[in-house]
Structure 1
């Protein structure tokens, strides 16, 4: 009995020490230096000139505290590998046609929208008292269509964690990115597993998964068409706090896909900056950037409907 009590106490201590690591923190020079030391020194695939990437970090709904951390990490990864030039913005005017053409790819950084309409562009336009609600919706639809056309014509789009919520009630956006956000249980340690250890975009994980504390995202709508190439997954049976019992325990949390001639990369893992303190994850994100700009060729054929 004493051994059981001791083991239980040790488990509590271990879990508490794990969850303590996810406490929010301000960006410091020491933390940036740590990320720089872990970031890859070169790209996986040789580049032909630097690509221009917009990192768009506006949120109108839930504010993920890691937004500035994610922005800093992505910038460090791309610049250390000498592969990308970044523009950082929270201005929706960047999604006007003439401005989009400056970029080879866009990274949406936790661009969560308000719950009412789940439409970030509308959220911004609705604050203009000179516009009617219909005018605000029309203008927001124009920007969304610009983004859809931009990717479909051959450009890249990378979505970090909550970015999938940006236009969450739009069927067109959901079809482009591979699904819509449904819900997530509480933050907890997640055992992340590789769908295909031989796939080039998960090569950084050395054929093994990893465990980190994150929000375990569940998806709906277009997700169930599996019109993407999954990269990472979690087992729902390993999780606490599910909203309902699941019949399909394998849940994909990172994938790539084509939209027209453009490329999409989505990574749900990245809610906490502590997850970036992992050189394998940094390499994964760099490879993802190389994929969306067209440098890294790999199998991105749809997984397809499952029986």
Structure 2
């Protein structure tokens, strides 16, 4: 039976051109039944039928007050949550969301090649990757280092690109538990090209299936 996902891509801030490619990737990387929405009212209805909710490069305030309550209750009760790239630029005024995701976006240098250091080879999102993963992205900096409250899966090697400001400990991909739910976040996924990359597609698949409790 397909795993049912709710993929939310509403933006009230910066909008990534890669969103359509990202949605198509989620539809095609696994045995998923995807409901794609940009309607915040979708979160005012019961979410229990979904194995996971995916915020795919959302930005700004994307939920209503009632939707916030529904999403928090859903995750705390055991629902999965996946944040991709600009999901960290979302709901800055909702404290629960910052806790849920683990860290909030601060800034990024220009889009450029760099290296991600894979720290955890046991997780489905990273076990297929080399120890040093060459990738091209925006290499997000975060307002706080989430390491104390999350399981870091991969970090950025700031010596491999220009403009990083978090230092030698720069988490980039992580997972955590929120109540009875599972949360996965990857800072990667800026460009459409990422969603055609086999390693990134496997990375995304592993994160989603883990959050949904099926991988």
Q: TM-score, normalising length from structure 1?
A: 0.66
In structure 1, distance between residues paired with 2:50 and 2:195? 25
CA distance in 2, matches of 1:285, 1:102: 21
Question: RMSD of aligned C-alpha atoms?
Answer: 1.7
Distance 2:206 2:124 in 1: 9
The 3 A distance-change label for structure 1 pair 200 and 163 is closer
Q: Provide closer, same or farther for how the CA distance between residues 280 and 238 of structure 1 changes in structure 2, counting only shifts above 3 A.
A: closer
Structure 1 partner of 2:50 = 103
Does the 8 A contact of 2:111 with 2:136 survive in 1? Answer: yes
Give the superposition deviation at 1:209.
2.6
Give how far 1:153 is off: 0.5
The one-character-per-residue Cα deviations of 1:181-227 (angstroms, maximum 9, x if unpaired) are: 1111111112111012344431111x433222211101124x44631
Q: Which has the larger radius of gyration?
A: 1
Q: Distance in 2 between matches of 1:278 and 1:239?
A: 20
The residue aligned with 2:88 is 164
Unmatched tracts of structure 2, length 5 or more: none
Q: Which residue of 2 aligns with 1:218?
A: 141
Partner of 2:25: 73
Per-residue deviation, 1:294:
0.7
Matches within 5 A, 1:266-285: 266-285=185-204
Contact kept, 8 Å, 1:112 with 1:162, in 2: the verdict is yes
Q: Which has the higher contact order (CA 8 A, sep 6+)?
A: 2
Is 2:117 the partner of 1:193?
A: yes
Structure-2-length-normalised TM-score: 0.92
Is residue 256 from structure 1 mapped to residue 203 from structure 2 by the alignment? no
Q: Is the 8 A contact 1:168 1:181 kept in 2?
A: no
Aligned length: 215
Please say if residues 155 and 172 of structure 2, whose CA atoms lie closer than 8 Å, have aligned partners that are also in contact: yes
| Alignment deviations for residues 146-190 of structure 1 (CA, whole Å, 9 cap, x no partner) | 211111100001111001212123221111111111111111112
Question: Structure 1: 5+ residue runs without aligned partners?
Answer: 1-48, 114-118, 122-139, 297-307
Kept in 2: contact 1:178–1:226 (CA 8 A): no
CA distance 1:224–1:163, shift in 2 (3 Å)? closer
Task: Report if aligned partners of 1:63, 1:112 keep a CA contact under 8 Å in 2.
Answer: yes
Query: Which has a greater percent of strand?
Result: 2
Partner of 1:229: 151
